[in-house]
Structure formats: C-alpha cells, structure tokens
Amino acid sequence: MTAKPDRLGGKYPAVRLRRLRRNEACRRLVRETAFHPDQLVMPYFVQEGPRCKEEIRSLPGQYRFSIDCLMEELDELTGSGVRAVLLFGIPDEGKKDESASAAWSSEGVVQKAVREIKRRFQDLLVITDVCLCAYTSHGHCGMVNDRGEISNDASLKILSDTALSHAEAGADIVAPSDMMDGRIQMIRKRLDGAGFENLPILSYSAKYASAFYGPFRDAVHSAPRPEFSSGNRRIPADRRSYQMDPANLREAMREIALDIDEGADIVMVKPAMAYLDVIREAARTFDVPLAAYAVSGEYAMIKAAAEKGIVDERQAVWETLTAFARAGARVLITYHAKQVSLWNSSTQRESVKRVTALR
Ligand code: PBG
C-alpha cells in the first residue's frame, strides 16, 4: 500500500479494526470489493451429434453439450441470472485438417449453435472463442509451415475468416485466443469490411503458456499432438512459441498495449489465480474493460480439493473471484458462473432473519 501514515488513521487503543468485523451485516457494510452476476461469463463446450450431455472427466460438473441440449442448459443458466456465455466448439475428429476448415465453415458447430441461441434467447450475450487448435489435425492454434513452425502471418487470414463466420452467425463479441501477432488488427479490418464495425473484440491479450489449461484440452481434444509430423517436419508439442512465458509481466503490458492499439475493446489476462499481479498492473495501466479468466485447471483444482473435504467450495470460489475483482478485473470468466449466481440469489433470500413473530 502507498497510503501515507496520516491517511491510515490513529493507533491502538483508540483504533480497533476488529470493531467493524463483529458481525456479517457490518462486514458487508464496509466491504471494499463486490462483484455482481452481471460481470460473470459462463464457458460452454458444444459438439456435433447425438450425445446430449457428456460429463468431462477432468472438469466435474461441466459437459460437452449437443446443440439442442445446450438450449435446455441455457434456460437454466439465464434463470440463474447469468447473462453472458463463451462458446467453444468441438468438431468431429474426422473434420480436423491442416487448414482448420471446420473453424470457419458456416456449418461449423459453433456457427450453428450461435444461430440456434440467437433464435431462442433474445438478450443472452454470446461470445465466441476464435482459435484453431480444436480444428487443426496437429492441435496448434495456427498454421504449420514446411519447416515445422507455427506460421504467424499465414494463420491471420484463417483466424479472421473464423471471426467473420462467427459474426455472420450472430455472435455478439468475438474473442481471439490464438496469440498470433497482429490478429486483432486483421480481425478488426475484416469485420469492418463486412459491415460489422460495431461488433466488439474481446482479446485474450496476455495469455500465458500455462499448465492450468490441461482439463480444457482434455475437454475439446485440442492438445498439440506430439506424434504429428509430415515429411521431416517436427512440430513442438507445446504452445510456448506463441503463448506467453509465465515469468513475464512487462511483456504482458506490451501485448495489451498492442491489442488496444489494434482495436481490442476488452482485454484479458489468463489464467487468473497465478497472475493477480498482471491483472493489477493491467488495471492500473489501461483504461479499457479488463477480463480475468479462471481457467479449467483452476476450476478443477477447487473441485478436487472440495471433493476431498480440503476446502469449502463456495468460500474458495467467492474468495478467488473477489481477488480478481480486487486486483482490477471487471469481467469474470469462470466455469463456476452459474453456481455462483445460484449461490448469490439464495444468499439474497436469506439475508436478515426475523427472530420473533410480528404478532
Ligand atoms: C484455445 C483456448 C484454450 C483455452 C481457451 N482458449 C486452450 C489452450 O490455449 O490450450 C483454455 C481455457 C481453459 O483452460 O479453461 N486456444
């Protein structure tokens, strides 16, 4: 803290900070940070085919939905008070190829899901993840060239095709998560050229090469394939040549500055829990809305610990989301969004209890 001693007030015994911690109503009265369900975004996985609702082994309580079963789920979600979703598509294995053609097809699973959501829900904000890793045969977020490298500029065209196809399907916000250089500029130009100049971009600006994406890659079968090679190409089986090094904070500020310059409307730090300093620094440095993404591994860790009785799930989730908001994040993307909103409304109902009858 940078507060001067005179701003911090007097000293004990005149000052007793415990006075304001005596009971729940008092603690709530002076609480410095709160978040509201309006800020929450719930991620969903949507797949082709007849399987309605398939639980994801490493993400207990999260599912791969078929399009029609997703509609039933969204009834529940909107009933809970959450107003925004982030969609990830899972194409059929047979539709993956080297140029990620299922990512930008108007008949792709995300494009179809968005059209269906827009037909059925008027005011639900639909954000789509724009990336290629679930659609490429090698599992990388961009094109691979004949030297076995992830080719930046060759990927931009396909990424902007993908973003445009989401816009045409009716997405409210597109969210590029690939980490290629220059993609925001390219996508912005492409959207503007097609009459979508008012469609916002939420950029995964400071996205780190993180171990905490493990369960997600299990969910969408998008891990980079170590066995993938063609001819004498050897392709790295990790994303460290495009996602950020976890050791870097200053570089994150450069990423965010570039994205804002290229037209990003909302910027994101991801993951969240291990990167609170990055969230804090971004919030202090930039005047654009900031999102924090509590990724699959963060969700899975809390779930696993709660299941073993090691932590209280509700308390742990509230504490981490409060920390993201305290650090400066406005938009909170979490697999706990629906649950948090349900918990929130049950607390509202039971706030103050009457102890005697009114007569
Ligand atoms: C696609 C993408 C990933 C996540 C969001 N978009 C996976 C990755 O980069 O490997 C991770 C989300 C999560 O772990 O919850 N590139």
pLDDT in tens, the chain (359 residues): 555 667 788 999 999 999 999 999 999 999 999 999 999 999 999 999 888 999 999 999 999 999 999 999 999 999 999 999 999 999 999 999 999 999 999 999 999 999 999 999 999 999 999 999 999 999 999 999 988 899 999 999 999 999 999 999 999 999 999 999 999 999 999 999 999 999 999 999 999 999 999 999 989 988 888 766 655 567 888 999 999 999 999 999 999 999 999 999 999 999 999 999 999 999 999 999 999 999 999 999 999 999 999 999 999 999 999 999 999 999 999 999 999 999 998 887 777 788 888 77
208 Cα: distance to centroid of ligand 1 (angstroms): 10
118 Cα: distance to centroid of ligand 1 (angstroms): 24
CA distance 297 to 315: 18
CA distance 237 to 202: 27
Please tell me whether the peptide bond between 5 and the residue prior to it is cis, using omega within 30 degrees of 0: no
pLDDT at position 358, please?
A: 78
**Collapsed DSSP state (helix, strand, coil) of residue 45:** strand
CB 235 within 8 A of CB 143: no
User: 45: Cβ below 6 Å to ligand 1?
Assistant: no
Helix (H) or strand (E) holding 322, with range, is: helix 313-327
- The closest-lying atom of ligand 1 relative to the alpha carbon of residue 296 is 15
**Which of 59, 128, 150, 177 to mutate to test ligand 1, by most ligand atoms within 8 A of the CB atom?**
177
User: 221: Cβ below 6 Å to ligand 1?
Assistant: no
pLDDT at position 51, please?
A: 83
User: 213: Cβ below 6 Å to ligand 1?
Assistant: yes
- The closest-lying atom of ligand 1 relative to the alpha carbon of residue 216 is 14
- Residue 350 gets which letter from DSSP? T
pLDDT at position 189, please?
A: 98
**Which are the contacts of 353, defined by CB distance < 8 A and separation ≥ 6?**
none
For residue 268, give both structure tokens: 């994101």
- The closest-lying atom of ligand 1 relative to the alpha carbon of residue 294 is 15
- Residue 97 gets which letter from DSSP? B
pTM equals: 0.95
pLDDT at position 175, please?
A: 99
11 Cα: distance to centroid of ligand 1 (angstroms): 49
Q: Which residues pair with 208 in a beta bridge?
A: 244
pLDDT at position 348, please?
A: 75
CA distance 359 to 354: 12
155 Cα: distance to centroid of ligand 1 (angstroms): 17
Residues designated catalytic: 207, 270
Q: Considering only CA atoms, which residue is closest to atom 6 of ligand 1?
A: 177
User: 216: Cβ below 6 Å to ligand 1?
Assistant: yes
CA distance 47 to 146: 31
Please tell me whether the peptide bond between 236 and the residue prior to it is cis, using omega within 30 degrees of 0: no
Q: Which residues pair with 70 in a beta bridge?
A: none
CA 218 → CA 53, 56, 63, 297, distances in Å? 16, 8, 12, 11
CA distance 167 to 16: 56
pLDDT at position 271, please?
A: 98
For domain 34-358, the CATH superfamily is Aldolase class I (3.20.20.70)
Q: Which residues pair with 84 in a beta bridge?
A: 125
User: 133: Cβ below 6 Å to ligand 1?
Assistant: yes
User: 41: Cβ below 6 Å to ligand 1?
Assistant: no
pLDDT at position 128, please?
A: 98
